């Protein structure tokens, strides 16, 4: 077989970028000399993360539609037109055997151009509620890899393959005991531990709830790893300096997420698809606080898919200020509930996602 060329497009958030990188790594493991090119959106997170992982990326000037100020969309349409032209040039220069879309702004123009040129396309939809871009691309895609049941609502059923979401492999490989993992954070190895994680940029509601409830957390029989994200670091540091809670470790980033997960009896998180897939694979009891600032409110739908199977607790963003801290203090001390949530979320895990997706990619290239 000749050297294969794979184009992977999408991004915008870690929830799109981490699965994309996992797929790229899976293809490289299978075909060492495979040539992989990423296409992302200019000024978005992928332009930094993808090169850091050792892959080449080209940025398109594409951006999302402004639903609040329709006049601003003239610029959006202009950027879309430029992106479509650049997408054609990229295809002409790179000549991929397949184009993979992981969602996010860039995947729309890039996969549309590939489909027009007759290049096979594969879509990876992470959420339980399909994004607009993927719905538009579905009709002409050869395969649609999903992580939830019931996706026939959005996509042609004959194209759907239930693979689950690829996650960062490092997260699954932790060999530490929970006690040793807690020691890594300078925590008491024998005490119940809550991991609060707001993503790389942070989650305002979650951080504000922890700040306002810091005295109650300090007085509770538990300890906490509080990952604030870079936007809320200074605010959180100021609160920590003033209150000095001995049972909270605060950090903008958690570099060793595998150790943080291993240390935790309970995780408080947004309800992004990648985060949920990680929690499922690790069997972690969780309180999910869906972000209201995402397209089609898909995080609430992701969370409800777990709540319906008694696999997680959901606290809405609107209710969080009154409920979140009380809920986490109460839940972390309830061993039976933690065990039940852990067992139920674990049953929802879809394993070997990358292998299943790469199998399909290879099959389509072989055709």
Task: Give exposure, 41-53, as e/b (b: 16+ Cβ within 10 Å).
Answer: bbebbbbebbeee
- Count CB neighbours of 366 within 10 A: 9
**Which helix (H) or strand (E) is 179 found in, with range?**
helix 178-184
Nearest-angstrom CA–CA distance, 270 and 297:
12
3-state secondary structure of 210: helix
Nearest-angstrom CA–CA distance, 180 and 186:
10
Q: Which of 122, 165, 198, 144 is CA-nearest to residue 22?
A: 165
Residues 6+ apart with CB under 8 A from 235: 207, 211, 228
Q: Is 108 annotated as a binding residue?
A: no
Q: Is 14 annotated as a binding residue?
A: yes
3-state secondary structure of 40: strand
CB 229 within 8 A of CB 252: yes
Q: Is 127 annotated as a binding residue?
A: yes
Q: Which of 147, 60, 160, 65 is CA-nearest to residue 112?
A: 60
- Residue 194, burial from CB neighbour count under 10 angstroms (0-12, 13-18, 19+): buried
Q: Is 200 annotated as a binding residue?
A: yes
Residues 6+ apart with CB under 8 A from 234: none
| N-terminal to C-terminal alpha carbon distance within the chain | 12
Q: Is 251 annotated as a binding residue?
A: no
Show the tokens assigned to 295.
């397209």
Specify the length of the chain in residues.
367
Q: Is 13 annotated as a binding residue?
A: yes
Q: Is 15 annotated as a binding residue?
A: yes
Nearest-angstrom CA–CA distance, 163 and 232:
35
Q: Which of 127, 132, 123, 167 is CA-nearest to residue 148?
A: 127
| Numbered residues of the known binding site | 13-15, 127, 168, 200, 299
Q: Which residues are annotated as a binding site for UDP-N-acetyl-alpha-D-glucosamine?
A: 13-15, 127, 168, 200, 299
């Amino acid at each position: 077989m000749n050297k294969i060329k794979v184009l992977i497009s999408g991004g915008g958030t870690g929830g799109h970028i981490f699965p994309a990188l996992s797929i790229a790594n899976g293809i490289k493991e299978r075909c060492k000399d495979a040539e992989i090119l990423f296409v992302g959106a200019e000024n978005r997170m992928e332009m930094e993360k993808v090169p850091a992982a050792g892959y080449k990326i080209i940025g398109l000037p594409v951006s999302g539609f402004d639903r609040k100020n329709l006049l601003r969309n003239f610029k959006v349409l202009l950027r879309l037109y430029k992106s479509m032209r650049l997408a054609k040039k990229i295809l002409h220069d790179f000549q991929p055997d397949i184009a993979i879309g992981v969602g996010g702004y860039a995947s729309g123009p890039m996969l549309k151009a590939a489909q027009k040129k007759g290049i096979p396309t594969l879509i990876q939809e992470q959420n339980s509620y399909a994004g607009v871009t993927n719905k538009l691309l579905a009709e002409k895609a050869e395969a649609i890899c999903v992580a939830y049941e019931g996706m026939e609502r959005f996509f042609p059923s004959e194209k759907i393959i239930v693979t689950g979401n690829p996650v960062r492999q490092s997260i699954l490989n932790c060999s530490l005991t929970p006690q040793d993992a807690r020691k890594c954070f300078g925590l008491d190895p024998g005490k119940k531990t809550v991991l609060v994680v707001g993503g790389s940029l942070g989650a305002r509601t979650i951080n504000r709830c922890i700040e306002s409830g810091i005295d109650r957390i300090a007085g509770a029989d538990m300890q906490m790893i509080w990952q604030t994200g870079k936007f809320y670091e200074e605010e959180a540091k100021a609160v920590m300096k003033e209150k000095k809670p001995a049972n909270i470790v605060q950090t903008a980033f958690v570099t060793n997420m595998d150790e943080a997960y291993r240390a935790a009896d309970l995780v408080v998180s947004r309800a992004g698809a990648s985060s949920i897939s990680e929690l499922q694979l690790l069997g972690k009891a969780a309180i999910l606080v869906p972000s209201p600032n995402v397209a089609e409110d898909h995080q609430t739908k992701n969370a409800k898919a777990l709540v319906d199977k008694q696999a997680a607790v959901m606290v809405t963003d609107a209710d969080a200020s009154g409920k979140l801290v009380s809920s986490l203090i109460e839940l972390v001390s309830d061993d039976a509930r933690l065990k039940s949530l852990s067992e139920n979320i674990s049953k929802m895990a879809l394993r070997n996602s990358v292998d299943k997706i790469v199998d399909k990619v290879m099959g389509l290239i072989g055709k």
